[in-house]
Structure 1
Amino acid sequence: MLGSLIETGLHEMRRESSGLLLSGLSAGLDIGFGPLMMAVVLTLSPGSYGDLGTELLLAVVYSIGFIFVILGRSELFTEHTTLAVVPVIDGQASPRQLARLWGLVYAGNVAGGVAFTLLVSLLIPELGVVSPAAFETIANKLVTHSLTWLFVGGIFAGWLMGLLAWLVTAAQETTSRLILIVVVTATIGLLHLPHSIAGNVEVLFGLFTSPAIGVADYLAFLGLATAGNAVGGAVFVALLKYGHVVRGAS
């Protein structure tokens, strides 16, 4: 399994810059359907946050965007906080190659999220199934926390995404991968953990539709969630699991 992870990471590092950027852009666009469906559920459901049935439904629809991205094999930054780190730890890739991969994928992810949010914001009045208030409610779940919480919560989100990348690599069937994606990402959604790429769309929706959320809220969220995600995936999954696999084989 470790060999497969290393080969996957090396394959992505060897891709053309334009391919990585476009794949990252595609992932940033596709992942936006999760936050959009969350807003639809909050608009149409008689319940709200704090209601068990609504919370579970929101967590499940949150996973929709991740299903599109991961099964569609688009590049997601939070997957590469584990996948791309393993070849570096193993000495088969350099930190410079890692930085290039992270930078291109992350830029594509964020740009895709911005484009998706702008497109949906133009359609909101005509959709009839989603209200601006729902977007504000979702965004507030992420920005009304301390800076420390955003970073630590980001670590846990990155940790879970790293585990997902590790487990999906081991899974052989599409059904198994689908179940893993839903279980892990719904957990992130249920705990309201800050995922830098999906959360990018969630907070942007709030920024574009509500005067209560400002640019400073968005930038603080994005910066701390990204840093936390990177630490969670690189340290708590890539480094620790690589260490125990290598030591176990020796």
Structure 2
Amino acid sequence: MAIAPSPGEIFDRAAEEGERRLDQSAVELVATSFIAGFTVVLGIVALGAVHALVDPRFQGLGRIGGALAFGIGLVFLVVGRAELFNENFFDPVAAAVDADSWPLRRLLRLWVVTFVFNFAGGVLFAFVFAVEGVLPAGTPEALATVGEEAVRRRPLTGFASAIVGGTLVTLLSFLLHAVDSIGSRIPLAYVVGFLLALGPFDHVVQALGAKESTG
């Protein structure tokens, strides 16, 4: 029977992964960040499509069905080890703490490039999905409802939601180092993706993706 790693071992794994992320080549960082951007949009589109299919038949269950569909997008991100802006906090900071130094230039490079190309990948595929007839019937309206809900939140509500969303993503980063196999990582990623969409709890790229997909 496998023994769960200690908190110290989890931190060491996080520091090692953080160092890998900080040392990526420009091509690798740009490519994985771009992929993460359009993967998030795919998850949001899946959410809208399932919501549109389920809600007219089972009133109120569309949100749950959509959240179940969105979780698949986060699984793709974790399995593909794509660079999502919000997931790039725990590991790089652990690497900095472990080295007893703050490589600000490398941290800023990682965060800026990841954010920019997450956004670029999301915007590009939002334009693709905006072509008439690409999305299943009812999906644009369902996505518009999701986007309007996010936009209409009070600033304090949005801020609190972002804290919850960021905490969930950081928790996922921590938990991924507590397991050893891809088979164990998949359900962890799926559950966190489900919870993010069920709230819905905002995190930066997911919120941007929702607004892009409704545009």
Q: TM-score, normalised to structure 1's length?
A: 0.76
Residue by residue, what CA displacement relative to the aligned partner does 1:191-243 show, whole Å, maximum 9, x if unpaired? 1111211221111122x2xxxxxxxxxxxxxxxxxxxxxxxxxxxxxxxxxxx
Residue 85 of structure 2 is aligned to residue 83 of structure 1: no
- What pairs up with 1:105-184 in 2 under 5 angstroms? 105-122=114-131, 124-184=132-192
User: Could you tell me whether the CA contact under 8 Å between 2:22 and 2:107 is conserved in 1?
Assistant: yes
Measured in 2, the distance between the counterparts of 1:64 and 1:156 equals 20
How many residues end up aligned between the 2 structures? 205
The one of the two structures with greater contact order (alpha-carbon pairs below 8 A, sep at least 6) is 2
Partner residue of 2:209 out of 201, 206, 222? 201
Measured in 2, the distance between the counterparts of 1:8 and 1:131 equals 38
RMSD over aligned Cα atoms = 1.9
Give 1:26's aligned amino acid.
Answer: I
Give 1:87's aligned amino acid.
Answer: A
Residue 23 of structure 2 is aligned to residue 14 of structure 1: yes
Measured in 1, the distance between the counterparts of 2:171 and 2:59 equals 27
User: Could you tell me whether the CA contact under 8 Å between 1:20 and 1:104 is conserved in 2?
Assistant: yes
Shift, 1:95, TM fit: 2.2
Residue 80 of structure 2 is aligned to residue 72 of structure 1: yes
Shift, 1:4, TM fit: 1.0
- What pairs up with 1:41-60 in 2 under 5 angstroms? 41-47=50-56, 51=60, 53-60=61-68
* SS of equivalent to 2:88: helix
* SS of equivalent to 1:125: coil
Shift, 1:129, TM fit: 3.5
Measured in 1, the distance between the counterparts of 2:173 and 2:59 equals 30
User: Could you tell me whether the CA contact under 8 Å between 1:23 and 1:75 is conserved in 2?
Assistant: yes
Q: TM-score, normalised to structure 2's length?
A: 0.88
Shift, 1:130, TM fit: 4.0
Partner of 1:62: 70
Give 1:136's aligned amino acid.
Answer: A
Residue by residue, what CA displacement relative to the aligned partner does 1:147-197 show, whole Å, maximum 9, x if unpaired? 122122111101110000110122112221111111112111111111211
Partner of 2:37: 28
* Percent of aligned positions that are identical: 25
* SS of equivalent to 1:15: coil
Q: Out of 175-184 and 110-119, give the one that drifted further.
A: 175-184
User: Could you tell me whether the CA contact under 8 Å between 1:32 and 1:117 is conserved in 2?
Assistant: yes
Partner of 2:197: 189
Partner of 2:5: none
Measured in 2, the distance between the counterparts of 1:50 and 1:187 equals 20
Shift, 1:59, TM fit: 1.3
In structure 1, stretches of 5+ residues that fail to align are 209-250
In structure 2, stretches of 5+ residues that fail to align are 1-9
Measured in 2, the distance between the counterparts of 1:189 and 1:54 equals 12
